[in-house]
A = this chain, B = another copy of it.
Amino acid sequence: MKKEIPLDHANRLLNHGPVVLISSEQDGKPNAMAAAWQTPLSIHPLLVGVSIAPKRYSHELITLSREFVVNVPPRTLYRQVHGCGTVSGRDQDKFTMFGLTAVPGRRVRAPLIEECIGHLECVVANTVTVGDHTFFVGEVLSASVEEGTFHDIWEVAQPKGQTLHHLGGSFYTYPEELIDAGS
């Protein structure tokens, strides 16, 4: 079950740097790409940014539709995430290919990916050319999480709250210990 959360701390879905699946849609055709190069940017309004190479199919879809969803996968989804990062949606329907389920968003037409545990629904607020990539700045309109995975911060001490982080190539890692620096 997914539940909507207030935007106040929704930046914390991305604060610790997980790899994400960016979903987008144009003319009824959904796509998903893996992206490690993302970060929160602003609290008021809540803005997040993702850097995407112009050759990517998602670059075209987001440029046309002006919307995207940032989906945070659980660590168990690593094969699908890696697959989404190595196949182009121009040639393949990645949702079918990797057994991912597109579900309607609350505020955007781009679909949410049901198998993920966190979602930020965004409209494009700005695009900036950064070297050989484009940085899409998205304003977050709605944030939601899978119940039991996130309570103000990710529940990384529990398997279902463990996110996936891309080290490089085919290598990933995940967090599982909580450190309280205030104690």
Closest to A172 in B: B179
Q: Does A3 contact B (CB under 8 A)?
A: no
The yes or no answer to A55 lying at the interface (CB within 8 A) is no
Complex A-B: 21 CB contacts under 8 Å: A9-B168, A12-B167, A14-B17, A15-B168, A16-B36, A17-B18, A17-B165, A36-B40, A39-B51, A42-B132, A44-B132, A46-B131, A49-B49, A152-B168, A153-B169, A154-B167, A170-B180, A170-B183, A172-B181, A173-B175, A176-B177
Interface of chain A residues 142 through 183 with chain B (CB within 8 A): 152-154, 156, 164-183
The verdict on A79 contacting chain B, using a C-beta distance below 8 Å, is yes
Residues A15 and B175 in contact in the complex (CB < 8 Å), given A82-B182, A130-B42? no
Distance to closest chain B CB from A171 (angstroms): 5
Tell whether A128 is near chain B: CB-to-CB under 8 Å. Answer: yes
Enumerate chain B residues within 8 angstroms of A43, measured Cβ to Cβ: 131-133
Q: Is there contact, CB below 8 Å, between B135 and A49?
A: yes
A21, CB-defined interface residue at 8 Å: no
Measured between beta carbons, the chain B residues less than 8 angstroms from A167 are 12, 15-16, 153-154, 156, 178
In the complex, how many angstroms separate the beta carbon of A137 from the nearest chain B beta carbon? 6
Are B135 and A166 touching (Cβ within 8 A)?
A: no
Q: How far is the CA of A167 from the CA of B133 in the complex (A)?
A: 27
A residues 56-107 near B (Cβ < 8 Å) are 75, 78-79, 81-82
Q: A166 near B130 (CB under 8 angstroms)?
A: no
Contact partner of A137 (CB less than 8 A), chosen from B12, B14, B130, B181, is B130
